[in-house]
Amino acid sequence: MAKIINNKTSIIFTICFSFIIIIALTIYKVNQEHLRRSFLVVEKRIIEGAKECVWNGACNENEITLGDLINLGYAKEEVNPETKMYYSHDSIIKKNGEDYVFESVN
pLDDT band at residue 95 using 50, 70 and 90 as cut-offs: confident
Identify whether 3 is part of a domain.
no
**What pLDDT score does 1 carry?**
45
Is 1 contained in some domain?
Answer: no
Which backbone phi and psi does 12 adopt, to 5 degrees? -60, -45
Query: Is residue 71 included in any domain, yes or no?
Result: yes
- What is the total count of domains within the chain? 1
pLDDT tens-digit map of 15-68: 999 999 999 999 999 999 999 999 999 999 999 999 999 898 888 778 899 999
Q: What is the pLDDT of residues 3-12, one digit of tens each?
A: 667 888 889 9
pTM beyond 0.75: the answer is yes
With 0-12 / 13-18 / 19 or more C-beta atoms within 10 angstroms meaning exposed / middle / buried, residue 50 is buried
Domain with 52 in it: 8-103
pLDDT at position 13, please?
A: 92
Looking at residue 86, the DSSP 8-state letter turns out to be B
- Paired with 64 in beta bridges are 93
